[in-house]
């Protein structure tokens, strides 16, 4: 089913070039896990999962193999032959011969690499839980400054000052020692870069299914930058044919810091060597019970702000659903299904903004889909939201999570004829004035909030 394959094939072909310059083919299993990437340049990569959809093994035709193990909290306990151990609150204490020390707030303050002599990294934090400085084993000090919105606007080292100019939550200009280094143009309302301008030259950014840059292409259709990644985002190697070209973007929303090896991830810093953040989640348990992990599966989950992981398959489906219901064209003044939209103006009081309609196929997949949907609301934006479901909520632990970031959970029995209608003929959901009026009566004081409607019968 195409709905299970958000990106079955991707290719890039420059004008005048033959054969295809770049091609990647994606294969998914029956529960939408990515199992194979066939890359024209890198060869095939195979993924194996456990019953909880956590990644167990990455096998590459070209490159290293990686194997993983986890504890019950979702912490990585083994990466190949390296053992990871944890302490209170899921804090990583040791990875092989590397030790980690934290302050009372769970923020990393020291990393000790037990070599001869020991290599010691030191980390300092400000009152807002933002990383304020790093001292490298060589004694170099790098300081970081942020604006009122918590966006990093400057980093300064022994011989370099780097400034960042933002547009919302994405960086658009990078200046080094007050000279423009690069400009980044993103797809609107996403974290996906389309192109970069460096040294007055424009380079196309070619992404994988996650939105991670894989190649940079110059105006002549030549690959000038090509990255080889490990599973959790660390770069193994980079092939460069133009030395002045660079791409510091890693996983969506992440920017590589050469001085530390960390990825700046908007509200936190991510360590690709351990597959986790170096400080606890600033939104607490809303982002998940494990406040340090990146995601249970880095092949299909992303965390663009360092707050809450999002299931990529669901995210892409939501964008597709919104696009097909002309949500953007209607300027969000409608509550939309897959093939119909009802104007909010038709109701005495607006229900608010409809994010999308989500379906589920069976009970085993329901909670995964719903949790990811809730994450979109909680991490997505201002204020809270409303979840309306056509099922009985089966997991009380999810209710706790919802209560922390969503205004209301409204459960509507699918057998109630006055509720939201489901067109069973083509398995697509549609809304009626009667249904919305019924829901509006129960929403009450929660008007003008974000609304997420969950309906059964849809196919992914």
Express each pLDDT in 376-391 by its tens digit: 444 443 333 444 443 3
Per-residue pLDDT band for 242 (boundaries 50, 70, 90) equals: confident
286 and 395 both lie in a single domain: no
Tell me which residue of 38, 34, 79 sits closest to 60, measured CA to CA. Answer: 38
Would 157 be classed as within a structural domain? yes
For the segment 95-102, the average pLDDT, to the nearest whole number, is: 98
The percentage of the chain sitting over the pLDDT mark of 70, rounded to a whole number, equals 63
Q: Cα separation of 99 and 122, whole Å?
A: 12
Burial class of residue 326 in the structure, from the number of CB atoms within 10 Å of its CB (0-12 exposed, 13-18 middle, 19+ buried):
exposed
Would 460 be classed as within a structural domain? no
Q: Cα separation of 91 and 107, whole Å?
A: 9
DSSP letter, residue 373: H
Supply the pLDDT for residue 30. Answer: 77
Give the chain's end-to-end CA distance (angstroms, integer). Answer: 7
Kindly report the CA angle at 288 between 284 and 289, in degrees rounded to 5?
Answer: 85
Decide if pLDDT at 399 tops 60.
Answer: no
Q: Give yes or no for a contact between 193 and 204, defined as CB atoms under 8 angstroms apart.
A: no
For the segment 249-262, the average pLDDT, to the nearest whole number, is: 98
101 and 183 both lie in a single domain: yes
Tell me which residue of 384, 387, 386 sits closest to 405, measured CA to CA. Answer: 384
Segment 313-324, tens digit of pLDDT: 544 544 433 443
217 beta partners? 204, 223
CB atoms within 10 A of CB 443: 20
Supply the pLDDT for residue 333. Answer: 37
3-state secondary structure of 345: helix
Decide if pLDDT at 201 tops 50.
Answer: yes
357 and 208 both lie in a single domain: no
Single residue among 253, 278, 302 that ends a domain in this structure: 302
Decide if pLDDT at 140 tops 70.
Answer: yes
Per-residue pLDDT band for 190 (boundaries 50, 70, 90) equals: confident
* Least confident segment among 8-17, 159-168, 271-280, 329-338: 329-338
205 and 275 both lie in a single domain: yes
Segment 298-356, tens digit of pLDDT: 998 999 999 888 876 544 544 433 443 332 332 333 333 333 333 334 332 323 333 33
Q: Can you read off the two tokens belonging to residue 399?
A: 């209710």
Tell me which residue of 287, 269, 190, 270 sits closest to 232, measured CA to CA. Answer: 270
**Into how many domains does the chain fold?**
2
* Cα-Cα-Cα-Cα dihedral sign, residues 268, 271, 275, 279: negative
Single residue among 258, 282, 302 that ends a domain in this structure: 302
18 and 101 both lie in a single domain: yes
Supply the pLDDT for residue 16. Answer: 56
382 and 264 both lie in a single domain: no
Q: Give yes or no for a contact between 209 and 26, defined as CB atoms under 8 angstroms apart.
A: yes
Q: Cα separation of 381 and 54, whole Å?
A: 27
216 and 316 both lie in a single domain: no
175 and 317 both lie in a single domain: no
Supply the pLDDT for residue 12. Answer: 62
Q: Cα separation of 304 and 293, whole Å?
A: 13
Burial class of residue 236 in the structure, from the number of CB atoms within 10 Å of its CB (0-12 exposed, 13-18 middle, 19+ buried):
exposed
Cα distances (Å, whole numbers) of residue 155 to 144, 267, 387: 4, 15, 41
Decide if pLDDT at 245 tops 80.
Answer: yes
Per-residue pLDDT band for 99 (boundaries 50, 70, 90) equals: very high
Supply the pLDDT for residue 17. Answer: 55
Segment 31-51, tens digit of pLDDT: 778 999 999 999 999 999 998
Supply the pLDDT for residue 14. Answer: 59
Decide if pLDDT at 456 tops 80.
Answer: no
Would 445 be classed as within a structural domain? yes
Task: Please state at what angle helix 363-380 crosses helix 396-405, rounded to 10 degrees.
Answer: 20
For the segment 154-179, the average pLDDT, to the nearest whole number, is: 96
Decide if pLDDT at 398 tops 70.
Answer: no
Q: Give yes or no for a contact between 207 and 246, defined as CB atoms under 8 angstroms apart.
A: no
* Least confident segment among 155-169, 383-397, 414-428, 429-443: 414-428
The residue segments making up the domain with residue 404 are 310-454
Cα distances (Å, whole numbers) of residue 41 to 46, 228, 239, 334: 15, 11, 12, 45
| Reported pTM | 0.70
Decide if pLDDT at 195 tops 90.
Answer: yes
Supply the pLDDT for residue 143. Answer: 99
């Amino acid at each position: 089913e195409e709905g299970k394959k958000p990106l079955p094939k991707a290719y890039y072909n420059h004008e005048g070039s033959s054969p295809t310059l770049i091609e990647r083919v994606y294969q998914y299993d029956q529960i939408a896990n990515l199992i194979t990437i066939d890359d024209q340049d890198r060869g095939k990569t195979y993924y194996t999962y456990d019953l909880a959809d956590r990644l167990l093994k990455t096998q590459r035709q070209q490159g290293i193999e990686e194997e993983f193990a986890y504890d019950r909290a979702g912490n990585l306990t083994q990466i190949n032959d390296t053992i990871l151990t944890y302490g209170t609150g899921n804090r990583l204490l040791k990875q092989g011969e590397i030790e980690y020390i934290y302050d009372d707030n769970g923020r990393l303050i020291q990393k000790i690499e037990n070599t001869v002599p020991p290599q010691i990294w030191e980390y300092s934090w400000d009152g807002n839980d933002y990383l304020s400085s790093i001292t490298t084993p060589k004694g170099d000090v790098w300081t970081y400054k942020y604006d009122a919105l918590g966006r990093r606007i400057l980093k300064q080292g022994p011989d370099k000052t780097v400034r960042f100019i933002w547009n919302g939550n994405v960086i658009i200009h990078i200046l080094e020692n007050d000279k423009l280094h690069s400009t980044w143009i993103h797809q609107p309302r996403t974290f996906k870069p389309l192109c970069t301008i460096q040294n007055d030259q424009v380079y196309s950014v070619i992404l994988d299914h996650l939105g991670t840059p894989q190649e940079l292409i110059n105006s002549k259709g030549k690959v000038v930058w090509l990255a080889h990644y490990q599973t959790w985002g660390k770069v193994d190697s980079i092939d460069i044919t133009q030395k002045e070209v660079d791409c510091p973007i890693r996983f969506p929303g992440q920017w590589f810091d050469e001085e530390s090896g960390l990825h700046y991830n908007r509200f936190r810093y991510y360590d690709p060597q351990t597959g986790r953040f170096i400080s606890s989640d600033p939104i607490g348990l809303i982002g998940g019970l494990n406040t340090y992990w990146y995601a249970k599966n880095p092949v299909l989950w992303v965390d663009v702000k360092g707050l809450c992981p999002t299931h990529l398959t669901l995210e892409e489906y939501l964008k597709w659903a919104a696009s097909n219901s002309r949500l953007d064209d209607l300027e969000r003044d409608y509550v939309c299904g897959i093939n119909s939209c009802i104007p909010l103006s038709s109701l005495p009081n607006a229900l608010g903004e409809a994010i999308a309609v989500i379906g589920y196929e069976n009970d085993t997949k329901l909670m995964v889909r719903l949790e990811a949907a809730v994450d979109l609301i909680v991490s997505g934006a201002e204020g809270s939201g409303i979840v309306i479901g056509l099922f009985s909520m089966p997991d009380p632990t999810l209710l706790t999570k919802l209560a922390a970031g969503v205004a209301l959970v409204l459960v509507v029995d699918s057998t109630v004829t006055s509720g939201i209608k489901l067109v069973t003929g083509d398995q697509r959901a549609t809304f009626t004035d009667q249904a919305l009026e019924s829901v509006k009566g129960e929403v009450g004081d929660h008007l003008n909030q974000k609304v997420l409607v969950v309906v059964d019968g849809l196919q992914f």
